[in-house]
Amino acid sequence: MTAPTDTPAPPAAPDHVVGDQSAIFALLEDPATHGITDKVVRIDTHGAAVFLAGPFAYKVKRAVFFPFMDFSTPEKRRAACHAEVAISGAGAPGLYLGVVPIVRTPNGLALGGAGEVVEHAVKMRRFDTGLTLDKVAERGEFSPDLAKALAATVLEAHAAAPVCRGFDTAGRLGAYLDDNTREFAARADLFPPAEAAALAQSSQQALARITPLLQARSAAGFVRRCHGDMHLRNIVLLDGRPVLFDAIEFNDDIATCDLLYDLAFLLMDLWQRKLPAEANAILNRYLWASADEQIDGLEALPFFLSLRAGIRAKVEAAGLTHLAAERKAEGERRVRAAFAQALAFLDPGRAEPRTLPLPDGRTLPEAGPGRPSLWAVGGLSGSGKSTWAARMAPALGRAPGAVILRSDIERKRLAGTAETQKLPPDAYTPEATKEVYARLRTLAARVLVTGHSVIVDAVHARPDERDAIGEVARQAGADFHGWWLEAPEGELIRRVEARSGDASDADAAVVRRQLAYDLGDISWTRAPSLSTAPSAAPPSGPTP
């Protein structure tokens, strides 16, 4: 095959297409090509066309040119196919089967075999497309166990990703912003010019503010060659386990990024799909298993989320041409929603109002995009602290909600054990507990510095423990809310005995010991645990 020129002609259409691949697509869409009688299912994106045929799937890179993705020549598309198999196949064993040539023969085009090679396709093992996580989410089946497993999958992928110290993260992200600005200006029908200008200005200001942080994180090893395109459509359940596929293969510079920027695509996708609890759970599980320094990166998270949403708006706008007429209106709605979300991540005043679910069953309107807050929740084991914290966190502060700090989690981390591994008694001495509470306070202060809110979940049995966590908020200039949850002895014991797969080691004997504690004066708002609170009971304590 003759090597084509590396410099493509300027795109001739708003969809960025620079070549005609209709004959190749017709070949792959023909059941006879694959020796089957069932209809071939075709899936189109801005960068590829995928053909599901029998037990296999074939992906052809589109002949397109974007500033961020150049598939303008057959050679570049061939290289991208081989790169995809190497990069994505490493994390999805058995899913990627190789690269197949499409050839011209005396009898016409053929998939594989001898002849003049005119195109290439990635060959994959076909999977049930209903098991990609976007479809799972649409069916309302995104369970807490799935969120836990997905966080573990991301952590595993990030741990294996090659470190790229010294990478100019800010420069690369600035280039994305410039490209977004150009693309938004070219589609004023989708992106109102005044709002596009506002997004550009706030984004540039945010990037300038976090540039020193990004440089420090790059030097510290938090920039790696990542997946780069980690949203729900690119994650599938195989044998019940979430598996990442379809990583960025066409540009190492795009795939090389801050770990939290890689994670931000997944969090943005969940948030945009109105799955805030799932996004919050994944963020917290990611932080619980990461180095403490990852907390500092939260300062950049609003910018990361906004940029990811802006890129989604831009890319989906470019793909509207490939949608059937009856799907185009829905596609435009998604584009506008992503653009609006990009604005809201940097300006929470534009976000939909949220309500805060208080521990006593009441709700409050969110205070708004003001200073961060620290919510401390105490109570004996089984009083519902962790349940309420998980319910409250997605509604609190910047997206995707508050950071949750659990004494049970931090105790296991200090001991160097797995989350669900039972600790020996010496991990619960007064000295060990003092160390756990000191760590909670240190981490809470670290979160507040980033502008994010935090929930501290611990028994807080001693007055000095309750006073100390309140002082963290005061020192940070953050709002403080302390809640003490209560439940009858029988309910406390029932709950701790019903737990499984949880970080808490508390059992009935622990609850009985705690019931004998001298708790001192409790100045925090006292509330019955939600499952035991009468539905018509008046509010307990002052409104925070």
Q: What is the pTM of this model?
A: 0.89
Give the tens place of pLDDT for each residue, 75-92: 999 999 999 999 999 889
> Per the structure block, which two tokens stand in for 527?
């509330």
* 3-class DSSP state of 285: helix
Q: 539 lies in a domain?
A: no
In the predicted structure, residue 4 carries a pLDDT above the cut 80: no
Q: How far is it between the farthest Cα atoms of the chain?
A: 91
Whether 110 and 199 share a structural domain: no
Q: Which of 333, 350, 367 is the last residue in one of the domains?
A: 350
Q: 143 lies in a domain?
A: yes
Looking at per-residue confidence, does 94 or 156 come out higher? 156
Residue 534 pLDDT grade (very low, low, confident, very high; cuts 50, 70, 90): very low
Q: 245 lies in a domain?
A: yes
Give the tens place of pLDDT for each residue, 360-411: 888 888 766 567 999 999 999 999 999 999 999 999 999 999 999 999 999 9
Write the CATH number for 317: 3.90.1200.10
Query: Which residue bears the tokens 């064993």?
Result: 93
Give the tens place of pLDDT for each residue, 108-122: 999 999 999 999 999
What range does the domain containing 28 cover? Answer: 22-126
Q: Which of 126, 161, 194 is the last residue in one of the domains?
A: 126
Predicted local confidence at residue 429, as pLDDT: 95
Query: Average pLDDT of the chain?
Result: 92
Whether 397 and 331 share a structural domain: no
463 preceded by a cis bond (ω within 30 of 0): no
Give the tens place of pLDDT for each residue, 476-504: 999 999 999 999 999 999 999 999 899 99
Q: What is the mean pLDDT of residues 171-198?
A: 95
| Strands ordered across the beta sheet of 116-125 | 41-44, 48-53, 56-61, 116-125, 96-105, 108-111
Q: What is the DSSP letter of 17?
A: B
Nearest to 287 by CA among 401, 423, 421: 401
**Whether 178 contacts 185, CB under 8 Å:** no
Q: 277 lies in a domain?
A: yes
Share of the chain above pLDDT 70, in %: 94
Give the tens place of pLDDT for each residue, 41-83: 999 988 899 999 999 999 999 999 987 789 999 999 999 999 9
Query: Which residue bears the tokens 């030097």?
Result: 219
Q: 184 lies in a domain?
A: yes
Domain count, the chain: 3
